[in-house]
Each structure stands twice: as structure tokens, then as C-alpha cells.
Amino acid sequence: MTLDLEVRLAAFNWLKEQVDLHGDVLPRTLLQKGFDFGGARVPLVAPQGIFKPRIMDLPLSITTTPNSPYEDSFSRDGFLQYKYRGIDPAHRDNVGLREVFRQSRPLIYFHGIVPGRYLVVWPVFILEDNPEGLTFTIAVEDLASVNLGGGDEVRIAEQEIGRRAYITSLTKVRLHQRTFREKVLAAYHSQCALCRLRHRELLDAAHIIPDFEPESRPTVDNGLSLCKLHHAAFDSFIIGISPDYEIKIREDVLEEIDGPILQHGIQGLNGVKILLPDRRIDWPDRDALDWKFKQFILSS
């Protein structure tokens, strides 16, 4: 196996470990630091979008900056469109990526969601070079169907284009979900709006109007940063939040007698105001809360 492939595989393995620990949205600081390969540090990102670590001859990753509208990143046929560096197709970064394409090497794709936090997607492959549009067309691949053994060339199993478009479209859905989560958690400074718990691993971005309802919106004002316990209690109407941002506990649950989690974690919140984001625009929408609170009242 060539050094190039060894480093790519080491990068994939390292990313897998990080994603198992932290989820698939990783902080830029971690990606900048990267991993150790035979005594050499291999970062995974740099300020430019197309990135080649020093120990490699070809690019390893491509990055989209935070807050670029993600609709722009996907073509109508469901593939990612990655912009050239600048407008010169002969820029060395574009030439490097073209060579990755020619050799069918797998890449890592980082999509900036909020400043400093990136959705990680790998392996991705270049399907097309479009010099007239100054873009590369990128498909996300299923790791299991990539043959990384047998010779120097990485080959993708013969697969129809529709399957790849489908896998890439799942990434788009994931991007929507992760964007909602990151924006909601950022608005609440990564705290539960009910109990102030600060561990990201224990926090969800809860929808006020659930996302299967037609009137649901993926905006921060239809979200609440809630810990796992309070998310489940909110969704199952044990906890209600009035349009005036006051927490209400269901009557029968208020009267129960049980240990400290029930007492402090649930009953103690009755009548308390929720934590609100700094920016008024991010505050929970009163109509959305009212919609949900009516169901809380009905189920009590």
C-alpha cells in the first residue's frame, strides 16, 4: 500500500474514533490538531478549503466554510458541488484535486455548520470535474462498499449512479438535522433550558412543534436546548412550557413521592421560568409554545 493510502486510512480510523466519542460534528481545534502518523502530526484542516498535509502529495480533505447556505452545496441531482479554489482551474489546489479524481482517491469532506464546528463526512469521491462551472461534483460513498485493499488503486465497486445520489442525499438530511442542533445549542450556550445542565453529550435540540408536523420549522425559535430527561418529559407532556416561558409539571406527577431526580429534576421546576437565548429572535416562538401547551393541558 502506498504512503498516500496509509495516511488516508489512518485519517479515516482516527475520525471514526472521534465521531464515536463526540458525534459527527467536530470542533475545528480538534481537526487542526489532527493525529500522529509515524511521528509526524497530520492535521485534517487548514484555512484553505482544499487541504493537503505536508507528508502527502495529494489533498486529503475539502472543507466548506460555516454559514455558507447548504442548498448551494447540492446540485439538483443530489450530489455535492464543491467550488474550485479561486477562478483559476490551474491553481495548484485545483490541480491536486483533479489528480485525486484521476486516481479515484477517497477524500474527507468537512461542512462548516456554525463557526468552529464541522459535520464530518467520509469517504467522498470526485465524480466530475466541471471547469466551466469551476466546481467538482462529489459523491458520498458507503465505507463498506469501497475496496481499499488489493493494489495501489482504490476502486469503488461498480455501482449505479442512483445509489450514490441516494447516499449523498442522506448526508443532506443529516446536514439539516445537525444544523438545527448546533444552532439551537449555540443559542442556549450548550445548556438545558430547564435545568441548566451543561454537558453537550446529554443535550438535544428539541423541536417545539415536532418536525413531522407541516407547520414545523427548522429554525431556532422552534427549538429548545433540553437535556435527555427534560426532552423526553417535554415530548411526553409530563412537562409543559407556557407561552410565557413558565414551566408547568403535570398535576399527578407533582403529587408523586419518589427520590431526588423526581423531586429536584422535575417537581422542583414547577413555576420556574426557562432559560432564554441572548438574542430575542432566538427565543421560543409564543405561537409554537401555545400550540404545544394546549396539548399539555389536554393530556393532563
Min dist CB 239 to Zn ion, Å, is 10
Count of residues engaged in binding Zn ion, rule: CB under 5 A: 6
Among 230, 248, 250, 292, interactor with Zn ion by CB under 5 A: 230
Min dist CB 137 to Zn ion, Å, is 43
What dihedral do alpha carbons 246, 198, 65, 12 form, nearest 10°?
Answer: -140
Min dist CB 197 to Zn ion, Å, is 5
Question: In terms of CB distance, is 107 or 197 closer to Zn ion?
Answer: 197
Min dist CB 217 to Zn ion, Å, is 23
Residue with cell 431526588: 260
How many residues are recorded in the chain? 300
Min dist CB 264 to Zn ion, Å, is 11
Contact status: 227 vs Zn ion (CB under 5 A): yes
Question: In terms of CB distance, is 23 or 268 closer to Zn ion?
Answer: 268
Dist CA 274 CA 244 (whole Å): 9
- What is the maximal distance between C-alpha atoms in the chain? 72
User: Binding to Zn ion (CB under 5 A): which residues in 62-121?
Assistant: none
Residues 222/208, Cβ–Cβ less than 8 Å: yes
Question: In terms of CB distance, is 127 or 232 closer to Zn ion?
Answer: 232
Question: In terms of CB distance, is 24 or 246 closer to Zn ion?
Answer: 246
Min dist CB 147 to Zn ion, Å, is 46
Question: In terms of CB distance, is 233 or 288 closer to Zn ion?
Answer: 233
- Amino acid letter, 144: A
Segment near Zn ion (CB under 5 A), from 18-26, 131-139, 171-179, 195-203? 195-203
Min dist CB 196 to Zn ion, Å, is 7
Question: In terms of CB distance, is 60 or 203 closer to Zn ion?
Answer: 203
Segment near Zn ion (CB under 5 A), from 38-46, 81-89, 115-123, 229-237? 229-237
- Write each residue from 248 to 267 as x if it is in contact with Zn ion (CB under 5 A), else as -, in one continuous string: --------------------
Q: What are the cell numbers at 215? A: 407547520
Contact status: 58 vs Zn ion (CB under 5 A): no
Min dist CB 192 to Zn ion, Å, is 3
User: Binding to Zn ion (CB under 5 A): which residues in 155-194?
Assistant: 192, 194
Among 195, 206, 220, 269, interactor with Zn ion by CB under 5 A: 195
Question: In terms of CB distance, is 195 or 289 closer to Zn ion?
Answer: 195
Interface residues toward Zn ion, by CB under 5 A? 192, 194-195, 197, 227, 230
